[in-house]
Structure 1
Amino acid sequence: MQNWLYILLIVLVAYIVISVLLYFLQDYFLFKPEKLSKDFQFYYDNQEIEEYNIETRDGATINGLRFKAENPKGIVFYLKGNSKSIKGWGKFAVDFTRHGYDVIMVDYRGFGKSTGRRTQKAVKRDMQVVYNRLKEKVSEKYIVLYGRSMGSGFAAKLASMNNPRMLILDAPYYSLNKVAKKYIPFMPLSLLIKFPMPTHKWLKYVNCPIHIIHGTDDKLIPYKTSVKLSKIKPELTKLYTVIGGGHKNLNTFESYHKMLTEIITTRPQKVNLEGSSINVKHSSKRTNAKA
C-alpha cells in the first residue's frame, strides 16, 4: 500500500512541476520572435514603404510598416503569425498591393522593434489602437482585416468590435486551448494558458463577410477546424479550400492566389433565389407514373 502511495505522490509532484513549467514557459513555446535593432532599415524590391511607431498608454512601442499602392482602393490590415518579424512577413504585402490595396503590418510586443510586456489583453488593445488610427484616415468600408494563423484570432476579435469591409482568416484555429490540447491533453489548459484566443467565441459577434482559407494538408491546425468555424456564422461565411496546402505554404499554390483575388476584387451580390430549387425536397415515396 505504501508503494502505491509513494508512486502516487511522485506522479502528483511531477504533474504540478509540469503545470508550473508550462505556465511560466509557454510564452517561449508559443512565440518565436525575431528582434530588430532600432536602426534597422526595411527594404523590399518594387515596394514603397513607410515606417511608423505608435506609443501605447502603458509606455510600449508598436512598430509597423505601410506598404503603399498607387491610387489605393482600400487598406488591408495584415495580422501576421507567431514567428519572426515584419521584416520577413513583409514579402506577402505584394499579394494585396498588386490589386491596389495599401497594407498595414505591425509587430506584436517583443517582435522586431516593438517593445512592451506581451499579454493577450495588451496585444488586443494594441491592435485596436492601430485600427483606430486607420479609421482616422479612411472609412471602415475600405478596411480589410487579414489574420494569418496566430493573427487570425486577433483579426476575429477586431472584426467583432468594429465594422470592417470584410474579415479574411488564413489557417485559423478554433482556440489556442484546442491546439494545445492536441499535444498535452492531460493538462488543465483552461487554467494554464495565458493566450486562450477563443476565435470561435469572437466570430459570433462578427457582422461583416467572413472568408476562411485553409489547406487540406495542414498538420498544425487541421482543415476540419475551418469547417467548424465556418458553421458559426454560415450566412456570412465562405470557406476556401487549398487542396494539398499545408500550414506555411499556401502562397505557393496558384489556387490560393485565385481565391485571394476573388475575395478582394469581387463585390458581394445578393442572390435572387426566386424560381430556384431551394425549397424543393426529395421525396422518399415512390409515385406511379401515369400512362
Structure 2
Amino acid sequence: MSSTSSLDSIGWDPHKQVVMAAVTIFGSVLWFSGNALLALIVVIIVLLPFPWILVRFPTLQRKFLFHSWYYKADKPLDNPLLWGVQDGISQPIGALGCWYVANTCKCVPTCSCLCDTVVVYCHGSSGSRGNQYRVDLVNYLASLGCAVYSFDYRGYADSPGESSQVNSIQDARQVLAFARAEHPDKRVVLYGHSMGTGVVCQTAYQLIQEDAAVDAVILEAPFLSIPDCVLKSPTLRFVNSLPIYKDFVWQFSDLFVTKDVIGDLKNVLILFAEDDEVIAPHHATELHTLCPASTLHLISEGGHNFLIQQGSVKKAIEEHLKRNDPPLQ
C-alpha cells in the first residue's frame, strides 16, 4: 500500500481536524510554558467555541465540510496528460472542469472488453480530479475499455462556483446528462468515492424517481450520513457528549444521508477497507444490509484512498461492470 499522503484523509473527518488542532495547541503551549494545566486550559478556550462559530457562519460550515480550498495545482488541469491520464482530453462541461478518456476499442460487437460502458466519476471532499489515486482509477477504468468522465464540483479546482450538497448533485447530473447525450447507446455507471458516494447515491435516487435510472453504481469508502460519521466516531467520545457539538453536527442532519436512499438502488458494488482511517467499516456493512441488491467487497488493507492498488478490488470492479443487470429501477 502506498504511503502517499491523502488529501481526503486529512480533511474528511471533522474529529481528526479537532484532535490535530488540540494536540498542536497543547504541545505548543506546553513547550513554551512548561505548564500542562495552562496548556489544557488554552486548548479548551480555543476549541470549545469552534462549533458555535461554525453553526453561525454558513460560509465556514461549507469550508469545513467541502474542502475545495485544500487544493494546490502545480500543473494546468486542462492538460490531463501532465497529470498522468492516459489518452485523456480536457472536456469542460458547462463551467465544470472535466477530463474525458474516450473508448478506443476497435473490437467487434461481441468483444469481452467494456467498450459499451461509460463511467462518471465523482470524487471525495478535497483536492481535485488530479489527485494521484483518482488518476490511477481513471486509467484503470479506461484500460478495461470504458469511456470515463472525471470532473470537479463547483468550487473545486477549475470549476467556479460555491460548494454545497445541492450543487454537487446538480453537477453530477449535468455531467451524466452530457455523457448520455454523447453516448446514447451505452450503459452508464456512476462511481463515487468517500463524499462522492453521497453525491452518487442521491443522484441515482433522483434519477430513479424520474424513470431515468443509471445502469450500475460503485461506492468506494461510503458512509451512512454525515452525522453518523461524526457523532458515532470513537475519536472524541467526551466531546461528542457536549450539547454544543451535538447541536453543531445536527445542523447537517440532512447532508448526504445515504442510508435513507440506498435501499432503492440496484446493481450496487460497495468497496471498503477495514483499515480505513477516516470512516469506520460498520458504515459499509450497514449499507450493504440496507441494500439487498448490493455486493460488498471488504478487504483488510487499502486505507481510505488506495483501494484501487489492490488486485482483488480491480477484479471486483471489472466483474461488477460486466454484469448484465437491468437499470436501477
- The alignment's TM-score, normalised by the length of structure 2, stands at 0.68
Shift of the 161–16 alpha-carbon distance from structure 1 to 2, 3 Å rule, reads: same
Q: Which runs of 5+ in 2 are unaligned?
A: 1-43, 106-114, 208-212
Asked if residue 257 in structure 1 is aligned to residue 257 in structure 2, the reply is no
Aligned to 1:18: 51
In the alignment, the residues of structure 1 paired with residue 259 and residue 186 of structure 2 have an alpha-carbon distance, to the nearest angstrom, of 24
Give SS of 1:65's match: strand
Q: 2:305 aligns with which of 245, 248, 251?
A: 248
Q: CA deviation at 1:91?
A: 3.1
Asked if residue 178 in structure 1 is aligned to residue 228 in structure 2, the reply is yes
Aligned residues: 252
Aligned to 1:159: 204
Asked if residue 168 in structure 1 is aligned to residue 211 in structure 2, the reply is no
Asked if residue 224 in structure 1 is aligned to residue 282 in structure 2, the reply is yes
- Kept in 1, the 8 Å contact 2:124–2:194? The answer is yes
In the alignment, the residues of structure 2 paired with residue 137 and residue 148 of structure 1 have an alpha-carbon distance, to the nearest angstrom, of 24
Q: CA deviation at 1:92?
A: 1.9
Aligned to 2:119: 76
Shift of the 124–81 alpha-carbon distance from structure 1 to 2, 3 Å rule, reads: same
Aligned to 2:255: 196
Shift of the 87–133 alpha-carbon distance from structure 1 to 2, 3 Å rule, reads: same
- Kept in 1, the 8 Å contact 2:128–2:156? The answer is yes
Larger Rg: 1
- Kept in 1, the 8 Å contact 2:230–2:249? The answer is no
Give SS of 1:147's match: strand
- Kept in 2, the 8 Å contact 1:119–1:194? The answer is no
Shift of the 130–268 alpha-carbon distance from structure 1 to 2, 3 Å rule, reads: closer
Q: Indicate the RMSD between aligned Cα atoms, in angstroms.
A: 2.8
Asked if residue 49 in structure 1 is aligned to residue 88 in structure 2, the reply is yes
- Kept in 1, the 8 Å contact 2:154–2:168? The answer is yes
Aligned to 2:146: 101
- Kept in 2, the 8 Å contact 1:87–1:112? The answer is no
Which letter maps to 2:80?
F
Aligned to 1:124: 169
Name the % identity. Answer: 22
In the alignment, the residues of structure 1 paired with residue 185 and residue 251 of structure 2 have an alpha-carbon distance, to the nearest angstrom, of 36
Q: Which runs of 5+ in 1 are unaligned?
A: 1-10, 56-60, 270-291
In the alignment, the residues of structure 1 paired with residue 282 and residue 103 of structure 2 have an alpha-carbon distance, to the nearest angstrom, of 35
Give SS of 2:92's match: strand
Aligned to 2:63: 28
Aligned to 2:129: 86
Shift of the 223–194 alpha-carbon distance from structure 1 to 2, 3 Å rule, reads: closer
- Kept in 2, the 8 Å contact 1:50–1:66? The answer is yes
Which letter maps to 2:79?
Q
- The alignment's TM-score, normalised by the length of structure 1, stands at 0.77
In the alignment, the residues of structure 1 paired with residue 305 and residue 135 of structure 2 have an alpha-carbon distance, to the nearest angstrom, of 15
Runs of 4+ in 1 over 4 A off after TM superposition: 14-17, 35-40
Which letter maps to 2:63?
Y
- Kept in 1, the 8 Å contact 2:122–2:192? The answer is yes
Between Structure 1 and Structure 2, which shows a larger proportion of helix residues? Answer: 2
